[in-house]
Structure 1
Amino acid sequence: MQRETAIRCEDGHLLAATLFIPDTVKAAVMVGPATGIRRQFYTHFATYLASQGFAVITYDNRGIGESLQGTVKDSDASLVCWGQKDMPAVFSELQAQVPDVPYFLVGHSAGGQLVGLMHNASDFTAMCNFGSSSGQLSNMRPGYLLPAHFFMNVYIPLNNLLFGHTKAHLVGMGEPLPKQVARQWQQWCNGQGYVQTAFGREVKSHFYDAIHFPSKWLIAEDDDIANLANVQDMLRVFPNMNAEVTLITPSEHGLTQVGHMGFFSRRCKSLWPIISDYLLSFVDGH
């Protein structure tokens, strides 16, 4: 069963979400989207997980897709409030809809990076991410460094100045981004440890030190952003987490490319059992 729903955050903001509920539920999964990516991008992956016995929730962060209220120029959304307000509300809704089962986070890029801002993150049994890393510019390969610097340090500031938001869709970077989302993304990728850059400033308190659950971090060999150095840089922010890193070589799975976005597309469905098998290993009877 697939149905649309609306989730009210603690500050009253409504988020658009989709629930996938199989006839027999073994566990439940929250899919954390990448920056500026609408929930429909994950529909085929969520449908696959439901076929494996997982209840799944996908959602649009505030300021993105159907969770945008008003115009993107007027949105006060930020990466911080995505982690502190949106993600906890979505997780609480999943727990309310599917009680008393193991809960997992499957994060794509920012969807895994921001988990330490969630006050209820300790309720997860485990986490499996794809393409989640610090995105630190200085660790990127030379061939990608120039376009990455241009997008972060020229395109974002110029767009925010001229339009009051970042037209990320014009350069293939997802939906139009609220100003604060783009600004924080720029600042965090220019520093070390991604969100750690904001500790003590925009992030007054967090739960990264309190996360102890097991995690699997998947990266593709041809991902220009989430390379091994940037994954290790991100993992420093989770000092007490049990983490394993798996490098995916596309050719070993009959694929020509995976990159930063391809994992959740149907052409890469041969990779999806990597996540479902990992999550099922924590479910009773497996």
Structure 2
Amino acid sequence: MPQRGARSALLGRDGFMRAVRLHVERAGTGHGGLLLITGEAGIGKTSLTGYAIQEARREDMLVLRGSCWGADGTPGLSGATLDEHRTFVGMMYDAVGRPFTEADYDQALRTAFGERPAKRVRAEYPTDAFPSPALAWATVITDRMWARGTQAQHDALARHVPLYAYEFADRDAPMFLPLPGDFDFGAFHTGDIPYLFEDEVAEPLFTPAQRRLSATMTGYWAAFARTGAPGDAGLPTWPRYRPGLAARPYTQSLAPRRIGPVDYHRRHKLDFWSRLP
């Protein structure tokens, strides 16, 4: 019986074991590197990897382990923001000192959809339902392009893999892009990024409620990375996105005052857009 603490023996793998020890010794002297272990199933890749971990720990090194899902059935976490296109309307018009007018709105509708469909879109998105023509146009394109495309992507992915869908909906998210003018960007494109990754411009502007939202979102993302599902003790429930059911597929709304389900289809008028050529 081998003595406790003795080095593991891998039969016929002396050359590979020497390569592992060389990489461990180099790491111990402050030299980084990459050791790639490949080969057919059953030839001992896992055992050799275990030997590498053992050697590193023998040198009192900190070993961090990770794993990935196989190509089939890899879970997905996917979403968009509530006001995606406000970023682009703002940075081309109002936020740079060029107000988007009623005439601009009519011209944009005709250019995008043609004369007759433009009238249908204007009736569905009248400017008197919005604070400005710019926000009306931003909502049209958010719903038609971003939300419609996002739902199509979710439907396609969820047929093959476990999927969790979200919509970032903090309309008071701090604007961290260097834009000079005044514009209501809402839950803008990229507005969710500082809630997941540190940002020295946006983070100091967070309210206590936004900090709590950020903590919840990072908790979701960490749980998903660890387990393949954004569920963990103390976090609001987040069911899977399942297309084809009687009820609408589940999308999680992420906002400071409320985290929970949203009728994504209704919010973005996807029934209307499905009937428009």
> Which bin holds the TM-score, normalised by the shorter protein?
under 0.3
Structure with higher strand content: 1
Q: TM-score, normalised by structure 2?
A: 0.22
Which of the two has higher C-alpha Rg? Answer: 2
Q: TM-score, normalised by structure 1?
A: 0.22
